[in-house]
Amino acid sequence: MSWFSYGYEIRGRRQEGHLKVAFVGNENEIARVFGHGRRKAIEQRADVLEGVVNPDDPRMHAVEAIFSTWGMPLLTEKQLESMPKLRAVFYAAGAVGYFSAPLLARNIHISSAWRANAVPVAEFTLAQVILSLKGYSSNLRDPSRQQTPPAPGIFGETVALLGAGATGAKLIELLRPFRIEVIVFDPFMTADRAESLGVSKVSIEQAFSDALVVSNHLLDVPETVGLVHYELLSSLRRGATVINTGRGRTFRTTDLVQILQERPDVTALLDVTDPEPLPSDHPLRELPNAVVSTHIAGSIGDEVLRMADSAIEEFDRFLGGETMHHLVFG
């Protein structure tokens, strides 16, 4: 039996004033993410409205904090006007862009568990990086074991990360025990930040030409859409692997397909794609050097509990009048 089956350790005390709290959003997702004692831990800290509450419920008038996860609704102006006491939303998931604007406009705090969600992505990518440096995928698809280019292995090899945000930084930390040179393309990373992470900041061209493994962790913003194109992919080293656990739109899919067709020595490990999901007859599903998983790098199964824990820790800071660590800003 795993540790979380025994229930979440309840810390902190119920606050004077009996803060009113509601769970809002998708009932099934809330039950899953706030299971194994997580909801009970919140109930020990505040007066929690029963069940999952509809935003139009009159009881929302007294609510000061909302807990939610995937499926959080975009609250309308009318609904927000009916919640005059709402001060904070604790979102046990990652991206908040689709619902955050009206909340931030009213100076309602939003705390997101995006850093917690970055942990399983980094762990998943670490496994793929290590196996790629050993030439695992190319070895498996060559039954004769004669045509596969010999992989150089892990020791002293170069890995390039696109992006050094929460996931990239966590992956750098996980790679640290290995004798691997990590280079990073991130236009927002300063020289001081690169030094603190122990990595070299490089151009995107150098990232693709120098590394045996290139792993994408860039944000999905207009500037990164289609950033990885044919010329960059064509500069990959022999036997190289590209990993995408970030966003599918960062890669120009038609260019990626063309390179994989032209260069059977290159491998693509894709947990995200553009489009997503891929049509059943898409070329990426047929190419032997493309491995497409179904967006499993992020929090799945019991990993979602880490995000609830992050939200509860933030709630404790909120109750204690402390600065929250994972606030979202407009």
Token duo for residue 68:
């939610």
State how far the Cα of 94 lies from the Cα of 114, in Å rounded to an integer. 4
State how far the Cα of 16 lies from the Cα of 108, in Å rounded to an integer. 21
The residue type found at 99 is F
Element (H, E) at 283: helix 283-286
State how far the Cα of 195 lies from the Cα of 33, in Å rounded to an integer. 36
Catalytic residue numbers, as ranges = 247, 276, 295
The residue type found at 120 is P
CB-count burial class (<10 Å; 0-12, 13-18, 19+) for 144: exposed
**Are residues 220 and 250 in contact, defined by beta-carbon separation less than 8 angstroms?**
yes
- With H, G, I as helix, E, B as strand and everything else as coil, classify residue 113: coil
- 109 - beta bridge partners? 88
Where do we find the tokens 């606050």?
A: 15
Find the Cα–Cα–Cα–Cα dihedral 129, 220, 291, 185, rounded to 10°.
Answer: -30
Residues 6+ apart with CB under 8 A from 50: none
- 251 - beta bridge partners? 228
Taking residue 55's Cβ as centre, other Cβ atoms within 10 Å add up to 19
Bridge pairing between strands 47-52 and 65-68: unpaired
State how far the Cα of 269 lies from the Cα of 291, in Å rounded to an integer. 5
- 181 - beta bridge partners? 158
